Structure 1
């Protein structure tokens, strides 16, 4: 960044008024420097100011009109969190929005999309440049930590009907007891009929709960154990009913539950075997804080990035480079399976796009396209926790309310399992965000030896493309009620939109 050295100190305010920034020329800059320099080196001064701006609350840089726009945007986001508590529901939501925006389930169409096995979505807008120049790709994931019902979940004990679960992803098991829970998912009956199920979201619905042990009796069972061991995985069992079927001789409560399920959905016990039923928190997304500046809700990792990605894509018109948005599944368990980013579905989608354009669709062409592409792994990061600041190296951590977080690398310890973005690509992203006036920050996930995490970045980097992690900071990550800043959510949208237009 270069600026002419034309302004003395009295004119600095003119420069900053242009950017709606209030700044004291004495702040964090040596008085001796000013005393010996009647004319400022604005290159250095402005870089110092921009660096400082990244180290303060983004709300200070927003006008009343900006804040109103941020709040309005986040109302739609909260609605998405309530409607998309599973990857299947997220895929349906994304598909419906894409269709409303003119996308077609046709590879010949310039705005094409494909839904893969009801769980992940690929959506593409053709650009003016040829595909061989590469794509602008952003990938977010729509799965979230949860509990899945086992394939034979229902049993009766101590005159209670119960459901066994198997947790999915990295949860703290103690966070899932004694809270209201809902069941979402699909049941495939023996004859192939598909039944969508959602119980616990409507105000008139019952909810479910995992019983916890009263403190009077928990000293040896819970209190003297490590926190991670106090609640065992096999103890994550749902209370599901307690009235026995009239006339039943044994397991009457189980029989009563099965009769209700048969009356409501036409299913029998064996149908659980071919079902995907997910247990999720039964509460809705809410504003957090007396100033309503934050959002609390389930699944914001990574649906904060999924929603902003969807909105960014739908607001792109005639891009220069072809834009591809991917809403992936299975990230929380390593991107495995045929709906995760380790599958070959991305390449298959590109084969179909090339054929739809009347071009040669071969492996070499697809490899060249992916190699020439630029990408963002749209995933959240963990900001400094006010009560546990010592797990962060604060100089290189992100903070709630300072904008979208850019992470050069993820991984564990000595960058184990990381995709480490090249400095040239980091510089490219940095210039783009600064040009567009996007509030952004850098952040690592905790101290080096504290822990760490991974994203889909490494699974796309194997194709040779440039890729970097970029997403919304989230407090209490992987809990049933995660916290985001409305400002950060909106800046994430702006960042993705700018990337697609670049």
Structure 2
């Protein structure tokens, strides 16, 4: 069984995953925890008045968040942790309503590099952001979470597709539309109006637009005879959001520290609130102007004196597919944090940042591993190289090992959650970088 400390940590993790079906919900939940811990909310459209020794947070698009704590004197460096709030899945199209064989279905786009096969025959809810127009003409965005099994993508019986187990391709346009209701005339908009009334008491409003996704209603759980595993949707990358936030909240507050969780990593990060956008750079400029040196040169000094740990999960050695790993770089679940390395800079790690993190893990008394993809296979990427390119901050990529990345349900190690949280806290508390 996990230790008592880890049990409490895992309970918080599972609850965070359960109530965070979309980036907007995850951001709102992180903001709530930050405010409960004494962080002051900031608005990007307002003038900032930052005070040394205080803690703040700011959101953009309601789906990305930056939280930071200031030292008691001038900010000379920042220990940064980065993650992302989005996960692959099925997003509703704007004109989603469609009918076939007497059933209401909703057309979807695949968001990111989703593994499609596990989406079949699951109890699906709907969640996201809806913009409504009030009777006085005012537009408002509200969060929606239909946490009931209102939809399913049914499989085709093997009797009608004898090649189903032989690698049949899945067509996202024609085969992935979930069914919601036995009707040849029902529409989505009245359903949205009903759910908005039930959840927000909104009656005299018009639905103007929405960003909604289907999600798996199966709750997170601890798996294995000794509960070695945690299984859930959206471990990539809400798990890193959770650990980064836990580390920030538990840090001693002596050092300048910053946590950023960007949206849109799974689709390239090219947005105003993504890692390729100016969100982090804007915040750093305002910190420098208020409690740094205030000049362009002091901003460069601040960035180059700082360090970013980009946290995103790594591919764990799979017992059924061991040949998919380099035999010397297959990280084990519950083997400790993973340093992610790629010669072609798909990860931002170099020997200097890797040495720093190894030293952090030594100080935190946690094991550490390395991941390098096979030389004959392609490699994914993270916000790490993008942040390093856009901001210029020394960066490295780390994470914990997991199975089934981009599946509707992913699996990681329960001990690793505590390991990386401890390492991140040690990094934030470290007096020197």
TM-score by length of 1: 0.77
Larger Rg: 1
Asked if structure 1 preserves the Cα contact closer than 8 Å seen for 2:118 and 2:408, the reply is: yes
Partner of 1:16: none
CA distance in 2, matches of 1:114, 1:197: 22
Q: Does 1:300 align with 2:235?
A: yes
In the alignment, which residue of structure 1 is the partner of 2:249?
Answer: 314
Distance, in Å, in 1 between the alignment partners of 2:149 and 2:356 is 51
Aligned to 2:130: 187
The 3 A distance-change label for structure 1 pair 434 and 261 is: closer
Aligned match for 1:431, one of 359, 376, 382 = 359
Inter-partner Cα distance in structure 1 for 2:118 and 2:252: 43
Offset of 1:170 from its aligned partner? 0.8
Distance 1:157 1:363 in 2: 60
- Give the drift of 1:272: 6.7
Partner of 1:373: 306
Q: Secondary structure at the match of 1:275?
A: strand
In structure 2, the CA distance between the partners of 1:149 and 1:273, relative to structure 1 (3 Å rule), is farther
Aligned CA distance change for structure 1 residues 476 and 260 (closer, same or farther; 3 Å): closer
Question: Where does 1:269-308 land on structure 2 (aligned, <5 Å)?
Answer: 274-308=209-243
Secondary structure at the aligned position of 1:183 is classed as strand
Residues 226-265 of structure 1: pairs in structure 2 closer than 5 A: 226-227=167-168, 229-243=169-183, 251-254=184-187, 258-265=189-196
**One of 443, 447, 450 as aligned partner of 2:374:** 447
Aligned residues: 412
Say whether 1:468 aligns with 2:396. yes
Shift of 1:206: 3.5
Partner of 1:406: 339
2:16 to 45, 57, 80: 80
Q: What is the aligned partner in structure 1 of residue 266 from structure 2?
A: 332
1:123 alignment partner in structure 2: 67
User: Match of 2:180, SS?
Assistant: strand
Asked if structure 2 preserves the Cα contact closer than 8 Å seen for 1:152 and 1:272, the reply is no
After superposition, the C-alpha distances for 1:124-167 in whole angstroms (9 at most, x for unaligned) are 11125632x32111101111111100011002222111100001
Query: 1:384 maps to which residue?
Result: 317
The answer on whether the counterparts of 1:172 and 1:479 sit within 8 Å (CA) in structure 2 is: yes
For residues 93 and 259 of structure 1, the distance between their equivalents in structure 2, rounded to whole angstroms, comes to 28
The offset of 1:420, in angstroms, is 4.4
Partner of 2:144: 197
Aligned to 1:20: none
Q: 1:448 and 1:162, CA in 2 relative to 1: closer, same or farther beyond 3 A? A: same
**Would the alpha carbon gap of residues 264 and 325 (structure 1) be closer, same or farther in structure 2, given more than 3 Å must change?**
closer
Higher strand fraction (1 or 2)? 2
Q: 1:256-310 deviations in whole A, cap 9, x for unaligned?
A: x654443443699x97762000111111001111211211100001111110110
Partner-residue secondary structure (3-state), 1:72: helix
* SS of equivalent to 1:337: coil
The 2-side partners of 1:74 and 1:261 are apart by 34
1:481 to 2:423 alignment:
no
Q: 1:323 aligns with which of 247, 254, 257?
A: 257
Match of 2:45 in 1: none
* 1:363–1:419 Cα change, 3 Å: farther
Offset, 1:179: 1.2
On the 8 A contact 1:305/1:378 being kept in 2, the answer is yes
Structure 1 position 439, deviation (Å): 2.1
Contact 1:151/1:273, CA 8 A, preserved across alignment: no
SS of 1:309 mapped into structure 2: helix
Contact 1:379 / 1:471 at 8 angstroms: preserved in 2?
yes
Deviation for aligned residue 1:368 = 2.9
Aligned to 1:11: none
- Does the aligned pair in 2 maintain the 1:87–1:120 contact within 8 Å? yes
SS of match in other structure, 2:66: strand
Distance 1:467 1:263, change over 3 A: closer
2:154 is equivalent to residue 211 of structure 1: yes
Q: Which residue of 2 aligns with 1:146?
A: 89
**Unaligned runs of at least 5 residues, structure 1:** 1-63, 244-250
In the aligned structure 2, how far is the partner of 1:271 from the partner of 1:379?
39
- Aligned residue for 1:348? 282
Which structure dedicates a bigger proportion of its chain to helix? 1
CA RMSD between the two structures:
2.3
| Cα contact 1:384–1:394 (8 A) shared by 2 | no
